[in-house]
Amino acid sequence: MSAYTSTNPATGETLKEFPELDAAGVEDALARSAAAYSTWRTTSAAERAEVLNAVAAAYDEREQELAELIALEMGKPVRQAVGEVKLSAAIYRWYAEHGPALLEDQVLDAADAPGAETSVVRTLPIGPLLGIMPWNFPYYQVARFAAPNLMLGNTIVLKHAPSCPQSALVMEEIFAGSGLVRDAYVNVFATNDQIAEMIADPRIQAVSLTGSERAGAAVAEIAGRNLKKVVLELGGSDAFIVLDSEDLDATVKSATRGRMNNTGQACNAAKRFVVAEGLYDEFTEKLTASFASMSHGDPLDPKTAIGPLSSQQAADTLASQVDKAVEQGATVLTGGKKVDGAGAFFEPTLLAGVTPEMDAYREELFGPVGVVYKVGSVDEAVELTNSSSFGLSGSVWSSDTDLARETADRLEVGMAFVNEHGTTMPGLPFGGVKRSGFGRELGAWGMEEFANKKLVRVSAAK
């Protein structure tokens, strides 16, 4: 049985299966991408922008179809799936609008680079890239990687999550129908061994992975041996720090949304609620009630806010983590177990009493499970937040924005927010530190990771 199988996690029904690449298929994909690079790299910035605009338009036109497809494949509630499609279109459109200016030559000041008639830094592509993408945001994750790099002139070999084969093929179809040079974007249903082979192949110039720590370490090891640059966006255990609140109900609503979006399956979701002791009891009571009021449902129903996890395996893993936390002394305030039935549903869950000795203190809980902590000071909140091995993002909530900003500055994360959490926009950089990975996506930063910043100096003939 192929790993690339589309299964509805709400019912357990297998929808479709796709064959994996054979050895000839690996060589074919690499050869096609390399051949396309020789053409795509020579196209003008304006032509590349036209293609990305066409991709964005296709996402707009097929919005409902694309949303329903990922609702079926990985269980995202369709209303949220529509939002993902819109965001993906916005990313392609942003690079179409801003990309040409970001590719303009940078002329160095003569005072900084004396001795030549001109000194120019050019922003150029480096060649075929390999992207390894996860299932939790099937379109958005690809857009973050593909849009800036296609705008730059690189070509892409894309290995998507095995559980999202239909959406992977639709994206390849959209690129092909939007005027992209043939084979500048190649989808591959590859095995892990084949991916290792591709990373080592001299035609692949760099690798971007969004996924687990384990996968990131494996990819980085192979890439390092072959002197390839990597961008890694890995796990997260983001803190939602509540110092005070003038409207606690609104703060709790934001906390619930920050944790439960995409059924909690987001690397930058609010996973740890770090609350000042004066607010802790009331905040925890309200957050418990908010979580308990949420019910799961058919992801194709526009009213559904909580869908299934992506698979039964994911639900089983989360159940095991919660059970282990309870065995080690944590308290379940609401939820705590899988929902009976064929689907991969898990109850919205809030834990308290998690201590540094427990596995749940260190692990990423990838699903609708939050942990609440009481702290006695800002220093304690910062210390607790920074004790995590992850460093993706975090947020600070307070009516005193100066204090909140100062606190946010102390967080060891790649993205810090004040009175909002996890904001993602095309022009904002996305990425983390520590075991959350390295490198940045989106905005101008997303076009710099896999670029040749080439110096060209012209001196008078002697």
Work out the average pLDDT over 190-194. Answer: 97
Distance between CA atoms of residues 415 and 393, nearest Å? 4
Work out the average pLDDT over 52-73. Answer: 98
Q: Is the pLDDT of residue 410 over 90?
A: yes
Residue 375: inside a domain:
yes
**Token digits of residue 150:** 């296609």
Are residues 136 and 166 both part of a single domain?
A: yes
Q: What is the pLDDT of residue 460?
A: 86
Known active-site residue 420: no
Q: What is the pLDDT of residue 401?
A: 97
Are residues 281 and 389 both part of a single domain?
A: yes
Query: What are the DSSP calls for 383-407, one per residue?
Result: HHHHTSSEESEEEEE-S-HHHHHHH
Burial (CB < 10 A; 0-12, 13-18, 19+), residue 290, is buried
Are residues 229 and 272 both part of a single domain?
A: no
In the chain the first and final C-alpha atoms are separated, in Å, by 69
Known active-site residue 233: yes
Residue 430: inside a domain:
no
37 and 140 in contact (C-beta within 8 Å)?
Answer: no
Q: What is the pLDDT of residue 182?
A: 97
Distance between CA atoms of residues 280 and 14, nearest Å? 45
Work out the average pLDDT over 72-77. Answer: 97
Q: How confident is the model at residue 9 (pLDDT cuts 50, 70, 90)?
A: very high
Distance between CA atoms of residues 441 and 423, nearest Å? 14
Residue 408: inside a domain:
yes
Distance between CA atoms of residues 240 and 284, nearest Å? 13
Q: What is the CATH number of the domain that holds 162?
A: 3.40.605.10
| DSSP 3-state of 418 | strand
Q: Is the pLDDT of residue 112 over 90?
A: no
Are residues 336 and 448 both part of a single domain?
A: no
284 and 331 in contact (C-beta within 8 Å)?
Answer: no
pTM value is: 0.97
Q: What is the mean pLDDT of the chain?
A: 97
Are residues 35 and 169 both part of a single domain?
A: yes
Using the Cα atoms of residue 434, residue 440, residue 445 and residue 447 in order, give the sign of their dihedral: positive
Residue 124: inside a domain:
yes
Residue 274: inside a domain:
yes
Are residues 291 and 356 both part of a single domain?
A: yes
Residue 416: inside a domain:
yes
Percent of the chain with pLDDT over 90: 97
**Least confident segment among 91-100, 111-120, 404-413:** 111-120
Q: What is the CATH number of the domain that holds 334?
A: 3.40.309.10
Residue 384: inside a domain:
yes
76 and 264 in contact (C-beta within 8 Å)?
Answer: no
Are residues 367 and 445 both part of a single domain?
A: no
Domain that holds residue 416: 238-425
Distance between CA atoms of residues 336 and 332, nearest Å? 6
Are residues 354 and 395 both part of a single domain?
A: yes
Are residues 230 and 242 both part of a single domain?
A: no
Are residues 172 and 259 both part of a single domain?
A: no
Residue 394: inside a domain:
yes
Work out the average pLDDT over 283-310. Answer: 96
Q: What is the pLDDT of residue 344?
A: 97
For residue 3, how far is the Cα from the chain centroid? 22
Per the structure, how many domains does the chain have?
2
For residue 62, how far is the Cα from the chain centroid? 22
Give the H or E element holding residue 277: helix 277-292
Q: What is the pLDDT of residue 115?
A: 84
Are residues 305 and 453 both part of a single domain?
A: no
Q: What is the pLDDT of residue 116?
A: 83
Q: Is the pLDDT of residue 238 over 90?
A: yes
Are residues 273 and 407 both part of a single domain?
A: yes
Question: Active-site residue among 73, 172, 267, 364?
Answer: 267
Question: Active-site residue among 73, 172, 233, 449?
Answer: 233
Q: Is the pLDDT of residue 32 over 80?
A: yes
pLDDT per residue as tens digits for the range 174-185: 999 999 999 999
Return the number of other C-beta atoms located less than 10 Å from residue 262's C-beta: 22
